[in-house]
């Protein structure tokens, strides 16, 4: 199963228009002779079009150079992760690897054919001066049919420009030539969306709403979409690509606002959901902690002379093995009934939030109080930590301050659509404090890991020496982070941050 990131732009163009020379006046790229292919693709989805609603396409395509099953997952604007699998003998059987990647969306629902596309594709590859293929331009004549609706086929012509091995400036250059020929950026994100048209459910309202409860529900919806969006990327990842971290952050954000907005909600319904979110965050956290440690130690060992023992340590392989096993366990977790039950519970909670009466109050009046309350907890915890003598107890208190800062940050971020700049500024200060205290916490965790590794039986002398040097580095890093806390705190503790919230 192969995958790559697809970066492309789509354009509409009249059927009889010639797009002309794509090399440009300065000849920075040259175009191959065109090749024409006949492609037939069948798109599958749930009957309710769950995948298409989330911008996901799953198809089986015959013809062309990349015949097979294709799964396209949205990443950023203009970019998608495309995963391929062979055609297989069974036309209507989705390969297990691809079915797993959409499991969080499908959750046991039937996948059925919904659209067929017949495309006459004329491809031109663009090369730079060295002969490298920098982009591919596909001129498509398309006929699309809904398979479960009695309606006329849709037909159109579009141009796709996909980046291959060149800079994004190539896309800009090609776009200027296409526009000159009369092409316009396509309003459809995909051919599938174009055929589905009005059958595709509208995107969820991202507005914050006027009430405090509506603002909370909008934020929870955003985080649910983040969680679902990163689920397949976590399943695909075999190294630190930030997907585990971002999926975990989405869960943390949900947990944080459920806690800081507790006065708006029925606690009896919140408690079981929060407990399951905590469980999932912990499963992701096992992998994330090992990602951070491996990256941290790899960076410290990089460039060290191997003949001196520093760059030839054996113990990093132990951490790498632990990370691989943790990823396998996480993939099993994401395919277990408990996980799908949690996703259903999140959906139910957002569809029918257990609001108390005060959730109906104006967000512009209620939300500032919630943000201010979460920030005052940060101030209190830091003040208490500063009273403690240096040592383990103080480290625990500072870690507690960091967690409070994280909750305050997420609460302020959730309030930004309602409160604007004051909430944004507070979130920024909370983030700086969180990250500075996080640097110290990471160094402390690294020290614990290095100490455990150093006590393993049969440790080589060279490895023990390396671990000792790294341990000293981590102690210096922890001390440096602690010194940086004071100036960050000085800005964060300014009264005007709270005053700006409460005097709007």
- For the stretch 264-275, pLDDT in tens is 999 999 999 999
Among 199, 221, 245, identify where a domain stops.
Answer: 199
Check pLDDT > 60 for residue 461. Answer: yes
Of 408 and 90, the structure prediction assigns the larger pLDDT to 408
| Residue 465 to residue 310: CA distance in whole angstroms | 8
Among 199, 232, 265, identify where a domain stops.
Answer: 199
- The tokens for 87 are 């055609």
| Residue 40 to residue 117: CA distance in whole angstroms | 6
CB 224 within 8 A of CB 346: yes
Q: Is residue 194 part of a domain?
A: yes
> Looking at 168-182, 282-296, 372-386, 473-487, which range is the least confident one?
168-182
Confidence (pTM): 0.88
Residue with structure tokens 């048209």? Answer: 197
| Residue 50 to residue 54: CA distance in whole angstroms | 7
Residue with structure tokens 């159109």? Answer: 156
* Residue from 117, 129, 136 nearest 34 by CA: 136
On whether both 320 and 456 belong to a single domain, the answer is: yes
- The tokens for 437 are 């205290």
Please give the mean pLDDT across all residues of the chain: 90
**Most distant CA pair in the chain: distance in Å?**
79
On whether both 189 and 216 belong to a single domain, the answer is: no
On whether both 124 and 246 belong to a single domain, the answer is: no
The pLDDT assigned to 306 comes to: 58
On whether both 263 and 119 belong to a single domain, the answer is: no
Residue 2 — φ and ψ, nearest 5°?
-100, 155
Of 29 and 27, the structure prediction assigns the larger pLDDT to 29
- The tokens for 118 are 């017949």
Instruction: Work out the average pLDDT over 145-153.
Output: 84
On whether both 230 and 185 belong to a single domain, the answer is: no
Of 375 and 151, the structure prediction assigns the larger pLDDT to 375
The three-state secondary structure class of 12 is strand
Check pLDDT > 90 for residue 352. Answer: yes
The pLDDT assigned to 56 comes to: 94
| Residue 253 to residue 244: CA distance in whole angstroms | 14
The pLDDT assigned to 208 comes to: 58
Instruction: Work out the average pLDDT over 376-394.
Output: 94
The pLDDT assigned to 129 comes to: 82
391 contact partners, CB below 8 Å, separation of at least 6? none
On whether both 192 and 236 belong to a single domain, the answer is: no
The pLDDT assigned to 57 comes to: 95
On whether both 257 and 331 belong to a single domain, the answer is: yes
The pLDDT assigned to 204 comes to: 60
The pLDDT assigned to 24 comes to: 57
- The tens digit of pLDDT for each residue in 40-70 reads 999 999 999 999 999 999 999 999 988 999 9
The pLDDT assigned to 305 comes to: 59
Number of domains in the chain: 2
On whether both 394 and 441 belong to a single domain, the answer is: yes
Check pLDDT > 80 for residue 91. Answer: no
CATH number at residue 137: 2.40.320.10
Work out the burial of residue 149: count CB atoms within 10 Å of its CB; fewer than 13 is exposed, 13-18 middle, 19 or more buried.
exposed
* Residue from 422, 255, 228 nearest 340 by CA: 228
Domain span at residue 353 reads: 212-502
On whether both 226 and 250 belong to a single domain, the answer is: yes
- The tens digit of pLDDT for each residue in 302-341 reads 866 555 555 566 788 889 999 999 999 999 999 999 999 9
Q: Is residue 53 part of a domain?
A: yes
Q: Is residue 21 part of a domain?
A: yes
């Amino acid at each position: 199963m192969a995958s790559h990131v697809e970066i492309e732009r789509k354009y509409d163009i009249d059927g009889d228009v010639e797009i002309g020379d794509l090399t440009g006046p300065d000849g920075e790229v040259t175009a191959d002779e065109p090749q024409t292919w006949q492609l037939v693709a069948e798109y599958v989805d749930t009957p309710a079009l769950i995948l298409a609603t989330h911008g996901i396409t799953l198809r089986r395509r015959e013809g062309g150079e990349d015949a097979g099953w294709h799964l396209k997952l949205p990443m950023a604007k203009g970019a998608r992760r495309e995963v391929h699998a062979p055609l297989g003998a069974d036309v209507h059987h989705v390969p297990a690897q691809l079915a797993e990647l959409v499991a969080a969306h499908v959750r046991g629902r039937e996948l059925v054919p919904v659209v067929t596309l017949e495309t006459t594709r004329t491809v031109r590859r663009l090369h730079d001066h060295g002969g490298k293929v920098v982009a591919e331009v596909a001129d498509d004549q398309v006929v699309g049919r809904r398979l479960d609706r009695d309606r006329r086929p849709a037909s159109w012509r579009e141009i796709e420009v996909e980046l291959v091995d060149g800079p994004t400036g190539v896309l800009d250059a090609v776009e200027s030539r296409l526009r000159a020929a009369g092409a316009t950026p396509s309003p459809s994100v995909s051919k599938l969306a174009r055929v589905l048209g009005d059958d595709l459910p509208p995107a969820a309202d991202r507005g914050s709403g006027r009430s405090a409860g509506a603002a909370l529900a909008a934020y929870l919806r955003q985080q649910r979409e983040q969680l679902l969006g990163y689920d397949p990327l976590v399943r695909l990842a075999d190294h630190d690509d930030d997907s585990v971290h971002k999926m975990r952050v989405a869960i943390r954000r949900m947990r944080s606002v459920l806690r800081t907005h507790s006065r708006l909600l029925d606690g009896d319904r919140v408690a079981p959901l929060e407990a399951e979110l905590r469980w999932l965050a912990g499963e992701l956290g096992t992998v994330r902690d090992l990602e951070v440690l491996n990256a941290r130690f790899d960076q410290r060992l990089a460039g060290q002379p191997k003949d001196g023992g520093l760059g030839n340590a054996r113990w990093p392989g132990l951490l790498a093995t632990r990370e691989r096993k943790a990823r396998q366990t996480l993939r099993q977790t994401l395919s277990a009934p408990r996980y799908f039950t949690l996703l259903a519970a999140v959906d139910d909670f957002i569809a029918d939030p257990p609001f108390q009466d005060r959730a109906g109050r104006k967000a512009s009046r209620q939300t500032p109080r919630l943000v201010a309350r979460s920030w005052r907890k940060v101030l209190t915890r830091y003040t208490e930590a500063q009273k403690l003598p240096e040592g383990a107890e103080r480290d625990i208190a500072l870690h507690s301050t960091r967690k409070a800062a994280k909750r305050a940050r997420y609460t302020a971020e959730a309030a930004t659509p309602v409160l604007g700049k004051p909430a944004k500024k507070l979130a920024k200060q909370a983030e700086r404090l969180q990250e500075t205290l996080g640097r110290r916490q990471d160094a402390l965790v690294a020290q614990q890991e290095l100490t455990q590794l150093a006590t393993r039986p049969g440790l080589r002398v060279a490895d023990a020496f390396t671990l000792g040097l790294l341990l000293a580095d981590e102690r210096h890093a922890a001390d440096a982070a602690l010194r940086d806390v004071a100036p960050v705190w000085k800005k964060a503790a300014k009264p005007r941050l709270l005053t700006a919230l409460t005097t709007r």
